[in-house]
Amino acid sequence: MKATLHLLLAPCLLAWITPVRVHAQPSPPPLTEASLTYEIKRTDEIRYLLALPRDYDTAAGKKWPLMLFLHGAGERGNNLQLVTVHGPPKLAKNGTNFPFILVAPQCPAGQRWETEPLRQLLESVTKQHAVDESRVYLTGLSMGGYGTWKLALAHPEKFAAIAPICGGGERIDVLLASRERAAALRRLPVWAFHGAKDPVVPLEESERMVEALKKAGVKDVRLTVYPEAQHDSWTQTYENPELYSWLLKHRLMSPNGG
């Protein structure tokens, strides 16, 4: 009986004292560096409305301020008259004689405002007309408010002041701005507007951008909130002469203040 028991236990003891064979994990494939040279080419057209001051042709040698206006999503398409539905183009169409050159492009249907076409548009208009490059202003509503934030954060050195209305932007563009761009941002006056009851673009969109600029060291930045306004916070803004007075008093300063 004892011999039988020993025979039965021997395999168990052998298994217990035999080292367990561990299967080695395969080494991970090496990380290699690679690159791709890519090229993006696109030729497109941007159509726009232009309004010159009435005495533009008679004021020989005078350089004029310029306002770039960006419309909202509802005015996209290929009918330029849609751009006159709101804002400064509407006022110009109804007879307002602005003391600046008004440029109002139209965003194609199904698209949003892109920075590069607008930059090239500004460059083209500046070459063709008597523009005071130290007094270029930027404003827009709703989708155009987003476009205003986007263009201004990409090229703060081009604008003497901006007025985004019921829009928003990318705070990270403020936080990660290069040293040169951050310096230009700190010199950029901003007056934002929003309706407290806006059901389309929440008020927080403007609040977070203004707060980001303040943290970045922008001194001349403020936000006007209309307590009872919904999405249309632009009508009373663009009909207020104080907006234009505020914009026109600003001039683009060089880094050394000259």
Structure tokens at 258: 């000259």
Residue 82: pLDDT over 70: yes
Mean pLDDT over residues 47-73, rounded? 96
Percent of the chain with pLDDT over 70: 89
Q: How confident is the model at residue 100 (pLDDT cuts 50, 70, 90)?
A: very high
Q: How confident is the model at residue 22 (pLDDT cuts 50, 70, 90)?
A: low
For the domain 63-248, what is the CATH superfamily, name and number?
A: Alpha/Beta hydrolase fold, catalytic domain (3.40.50.1820)
**CB-based contact 148:167 (threshold 8 Å):** yes
Residue 253: pLDDT over 80: no
Collapsed DSSP state (helix, strand, coil) of residue 150: helix
Q: Give pLDDT, residue 119.
A: 97
Q: Give pLDDT, residue 244.
A: 98
**CB-based contact 72:103 (threshold 8 Å):** no
Predicted TM-score (pTM) above 0.75:
yes
Q: Give pLDDT, residue 115.
A: 97
Mean pLDDT over residues 97-111, rounded? 97
**CB-based contact 210:192 (threshold 8 Å):** yes
DSSP, res 130: T
Helix (H) or strand (E) holding 124: helix 115-128
Residue 14: pLDDT over 80: no
Residue 39: pLDDT over 80: yes
What pLDDT digit, counting tens, does each position of 169-224 carry?
999 999 899 999 999 999 999 999 999 999 999 999 999 999 999 999 999 999 99
DSSP for 167-229, please give it: ----HHHHHT--HHHHHHHHT--EEEEEETT-SSS-HHHHHHHHHHHHHTT--SEEEEEETT-
CA angle 40, 112, 154 (to 5 degrees): 70
